Every structure is written in structure tokens, then in C-alpha cells.
């Protein structure tokens, strides 16, 4: 029995071993072959705001630290000019601003603020660099009649502005004073370096708040040097819209805004006001030019009558092929700024002031338009100046008209 039991035990052990070996063998046979991992598809470089901002940060850091940068093959310019940025810092209030093709940066340097504009190629290498010194922060004035608040108007670089508020009136009406030029600083108008400043203070003494600001081309002249940047919207209307929409933050009646335009801006008044329902107080035009939109552009940029005539013909064609001093889109913007296109749609009161005695046709031009008042002044030299001061009755007449008094005798 014992031998038989031992034999049985041995057989059982053998069967178990064979079974285990068979299992191990079966596991080896059915083991899956690993699937090869496909090569990753290269991700294309997408030029977007983030990568543009990163590139700009690296470039600005290089300039600040006095290092060199790699530029585009298209680059034409003097990189030595960028040495002025060594040691500067990016301002906290105006960080890097980018769009699809360029970056704008404001830097605080030892003596002044600098504005750097970078245009890029498709590889995010700079193909154009423009560097400008920004105007200093304006000096604010305060008298027994008024006080002033500094404003920052528009996008990077923001423009200096001044809001002048009379003491005698709580939440006064506010007049936006626009200049006779596209390059004027916040005080000047046309060739007169203090016209807007003097008018602002004179109206404040009457009880009307006023606001004025640097024109975009006074700060960023490159906007009129590159074909891609020609735009009346960029150099005029965008900043004006920014100002209108920010007035509700200040102690003025933002529901009673007036437009006061001198010369060139008087001609752009109707198009400006048409876009902003907030300007309900009225429109004051000081010496508006007798020009339509295209002729006005010709005067602004020194274009000949022959070229304006050619452009006029070209804009009427379905297929436009001609090339001119400026892109046709820019001419078209000026063409659409023509006041007659908007006058019939406006419901604001209008005051037209001219620095000469009115002619017979001028007196009768708006006879049937009861909301339009026209007044002329017997001024020698056709300017609202008298011994380097404003013509005495100009601000008082504007004030009287605003409060509803008749100023025409």
C-alpha cells in the first residue's frame, strides 16, 4: 500500500508540474505584440496674440539690457536708435498691446516716456521699428473759477487730455473742443498754439466744462507713413469715441455733451456727432472750411486738384486699379466724412461762427433751418484773436447760445 501511495503521489506531482508548464507555455503564446507608436504630427506655428506678445517681451528685454536682436530680412532702419531704451522699464499703466501684425509698448525712461512700435514678418521677426518720445504729462491749472483733471484717452499709447471743470456749476454741460488740424497737441489748433486752451478756460469761466486732448498724429506720426495704417478712423474717430464714452466717470453732465470744432474739425463735426447719441447739447462750428470731404483731404495733405479729380472718378468705377498718393480706402473715408451726408439725420442745434462779416448768401443759406444759427464777426485778419487773446465775445456768445439766448442781432 505504501508503495502504491508513493507512486500515486509522484504521478500527481508530475501532472501538476506538466500543467504548470503548459500554462506558462500558453501565456507566452497568447501574449499580444505591442502596437508601434505613430510618429507625432508636427504642430504648425500659429502667429497669435500670445506668441506675438512673447516675442515682443523678448525684444524689449533685449533693448532694455543693451543686447542685440535678430531682425527680418525686410528690415530697413537704424538699430542704434534703440540704444535709447537701455535701462528703461515697461510702464505698469500701459503694458504691451498687440494685434495681428504689430506690437505697441510704452516704456518709462530716465527723463521721459518712450513709445516703441514693432511690426513683424511671418516668422515673428521685426521688420520695422519706430521709436518716439511721448509728450510730458501736462500741467493742470486751478483758479477761483475752475480746476482741471488729467485724462488718458484712447489705446496704447494713450493720449494726454485735460478736463476743465467750473466751480460755479454742479455737473455742468461739457464741450469737447477739437482742433483745426490732425497734428495738434491738446492746447493748439491749426497754427495757433494756445487756441483750445484759451477757449477751454474762457468757457469754464462762463460755467461750461470743457475737454481737450492731444491728436493721435502728434504722438504717433508713423500712422501716416505706412500704407497699411492710413485710416481716418485710426487717426481721428477712435480716440474721439474713447473720450465720449469716458466722460460719464467724471463730475460733468455726460448726458449733455457738446461738440465744438475749429476749422478742419468743424468739417468733421457732423460725421463725428452722427456716431454718438450722447452728444445732445449741440454742435458749434468755428470757421468751418468750405470744402467737401475729398477737397478737404487734399488741403490737409497738400494734394493737387488734378489728383482729387482722378480719385473722384476712380471711386465711381466698379473695378478700381489706379494707385495714388494714398490708398483709395483712405480717400473713401474722407469722402464719407462730407457733412452734407449727415446733416439731414442730425437733430442737434447747430451754431456756426465765422471770423468775418457774413455775406448775403451766408446770411440766407440756412434761413429755412430753424435749428441752425449763423453769426459773423467784423474781425480784421479773419481770426478769432485780438492782441494775442481770444476775441472777447466768442466764449460768451457760445455760452449764451448753449443756455438758449439769441446771440444774433
Is residue 7 predicted with pLDDT exceeding 50? Answer: no
pLDDT at 129: 92
From the list 154, 214, 206, the residue with the least C-alpha distance to 175 is 206
pLDDT at 12: 46
Q: How high does pLDDT run on average in the chain?
A: 86
Question: CB count, 10 Å around CB of 77?
Answer: 14
Query: Which tens digits make up the pLDDT trace of 83-122?
Result: 999 999 987 766 778 777 789 999 999 989 999 999 898 8
From the list 395, 397, 391, 360, the residue with the least C-alpha distance to 378 is 391
Question: Which residue has cell 518716439?
Answer: 132
DSSP state of 194: T
* Percent with pLDDT over 90 in the chain: 59
* 41: confidence class by pLDDT, cuts 50, 70, 90: low
Strand 174-178 versus strand 257-262 pairing type: parallel
Assess contact for 285 and 269: CB atoms under 8 A. yes
Domain 49-133, CATH: 3.10.450.280
Is residue 48 predicted with pLDDT exceeding 70? Answer: no
Distances (CA, A) of 314 to 149, 233, 294, 322: 47, 22, 13, 7
From the list 287, 286, 303, 283, the residue with the least C-alpha distance to 295 is 303
Alpha-carbon radius of gyration of the chain: 35
CATH top class, domain 146-292+338-402: alpha beta
Alpha carbons within 13 A on the beta-carbon side of 195:
24
Lowest mean pLDDT among 1-10, 34-43, 278-287, 357-366: 1-10
> Between 380 and 213, whose confidence is greater?
213
Q: Counting Cβ atoms within 10 Å, is residue 125 exposed (0-12), middle (13-18) or buried (19+)?
A: middle
Cell of 205: 469761466
Query: Which tens digits make up the pLDDT trace of 292-320?
Result: 999 999 998 899 999 999 999 998 888 87
Query: Which tens digits make up the pLDDT trace of 239-264?
Result: 999 999 999 999 999 999 999 999 99
Assess contact for 285 and 353: CB atoms under 8 A. yes
Distances (CA, A) of 340 to 268, 274, 298: 11, 12, 18
Assess contact for 283 and 205: CB atoms under 8 A. no
Report the Cα–Cα distance between both ends of the chain, in Å, rounded: 148
pLDDT at 33: 54
pLDDT at 287: 95
Assess contact for 321 and 310: CB atoms under 8 A. no
Cell of 8: 500515486
Compute the C-alpha angle 301/307/309, nearest 5°.
120
- DSSP E strands, 290-359: 350-354
Q: Counting Cβ atoms within 10 Å, is residue 202 exposed (0-12), middle (13-18) or buried (19+)?
A: buried
Give the residue extent of every domain in the chain.
49-133, 146-292+338-402
Distance CA 239, CA 216 (A): 8
Query: Which tens digits make up the pLDDT trace of 321-330?
Result: 778 888 888 9
Q: Counting Cβ atoms within 10 Å, is residue 239 exposed (0-12), middle (13-18) or buried (19+)?
A: buried
pLDDT at 202: 97
pLDDT at 20: 40
Using N-to-C axis directions, what is the helix angle for 328-336 and 305-315, rounded to 10°? 90
Q: Which residues contact 230 (CB under 8 A, 6 or more apart)?
A: 223, 224, 326, 327, 329, 330
For the ranges 15-19, 334-338, 370-374, 398-402, the maximum mean pLDDT occurs at 398-402
pLDDT at 13: 43
Amino acid at each position: 500500500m505504501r508503495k502504491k501511495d508513493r507512486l500515486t503521489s509522484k504521478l500527481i506531482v508530475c501532472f501538476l508540474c506538466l500543467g504548470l508548464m503548459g500554462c506558462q507555455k500558453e501565456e507566452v503564446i497568447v501574449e499580444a505584440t505591442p502596437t508601434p507608436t505613430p510618429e507625432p504630427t508636427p504642430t504648425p506655428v500659429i502667429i497669435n496674440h500670445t506668441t506675438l506678445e512673447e516675442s515682443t517681451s523678448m525684444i524689449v528685454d533685449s533693448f532694455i539690457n543693451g543686447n542685440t536682436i535678430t531682425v527680418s530680412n525686410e528690415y530697413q532702419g537704424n538699430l542704434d536708435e534703440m540704444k535709447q531704451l537701455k535701462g528703461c522699464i515697461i510702464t505698469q499703466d500701459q503694458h504691451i498691446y498687440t494685434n495681428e501684425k504689430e506690437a505697441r509698448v510704452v516704456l518709462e525712461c530716465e527723463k521721459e516716456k518712450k513709445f516703441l512700435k514693432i511690426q513683424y514678418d511671418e516668422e515673428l521677426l521685426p521688420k520695422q521699428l519706430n521709436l518716439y518720445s511721448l509728450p510730458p504729462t501736462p500741467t493742470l491749472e486751478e483758479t477761483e473759477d475752475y480746476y482741471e483733471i488729467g485724462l488718458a484717452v484712447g489705446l496704447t499709447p494713450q493720449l494726454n487730455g485735460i478736463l476743465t471743470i467750473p466751480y460755479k456749476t454742479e455737473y455742468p454741460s461739457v464741450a469737447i473742443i477739437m482742433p483745426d488740424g490732425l497734428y495738434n497737441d491738446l492746447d493748439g489748433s491749426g497754427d495757433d498754439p494756445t487756441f483750445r486752451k484759451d477757449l477751454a478756460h474762457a468757457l469754464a469761466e462762463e460755467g461750461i466744462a470743457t475737454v481737450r486732448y492731444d491728436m493721435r498724429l502728434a504722438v504717433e506720426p508713423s500712422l501716416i507713413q505706412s500704407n497699411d495704417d492710413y485710416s481716418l478712423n485710426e487717426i481721428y474717430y477712435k480716440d474721439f469715441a474713447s473720450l465720449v464714452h469716458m466722460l460719464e466717470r467724471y463730475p460733468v453732465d455726460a448726458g449733455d455733451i457738446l461738440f465744438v470744432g475749429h476749422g478742419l474739425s468743424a468739417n468733421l463735426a457732423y460725421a463725428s456727432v452722427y456716431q454718438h447719441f450722447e452728444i445732445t447739447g449741440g454742435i458749434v462750428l468755428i470757421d468751418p472750411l468750405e470744402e467737401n470731404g475729398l477737397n478737404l483731404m487734399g488741403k490737409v495733405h497738400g494734394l493737387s486738384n488734378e489728383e482729387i479729380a482722378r480719385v473722384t472718378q476712380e471711386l465711381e468705377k466698379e473695378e478700381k486699379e489706379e494707385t495714388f498718393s494714398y490708398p483709395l480706402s483712405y480717400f473713401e473715408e474722407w469722402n464719407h466724412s462730407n457733412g452734407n451726408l449727415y446733416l439731414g439725420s442730425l437733430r442737434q442745434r447747430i451754431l456756426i461762427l465765422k471770423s468775418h462779416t457774413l455775406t448775403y448768401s451766408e446770411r440766407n443759406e440756412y434761413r429755412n433751418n430753424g435749428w441752425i444759427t449763423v453769426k459773423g464777426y467784423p474781425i480784421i485778419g479773419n481770426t478769432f484773436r485780438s492782441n494775442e487773446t481770444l476775441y472777447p465775445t466768442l466764449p460768451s456768445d457760445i455760452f449764451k447760445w448753449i443756455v438758449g439766448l439769441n446771440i444774433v442781432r
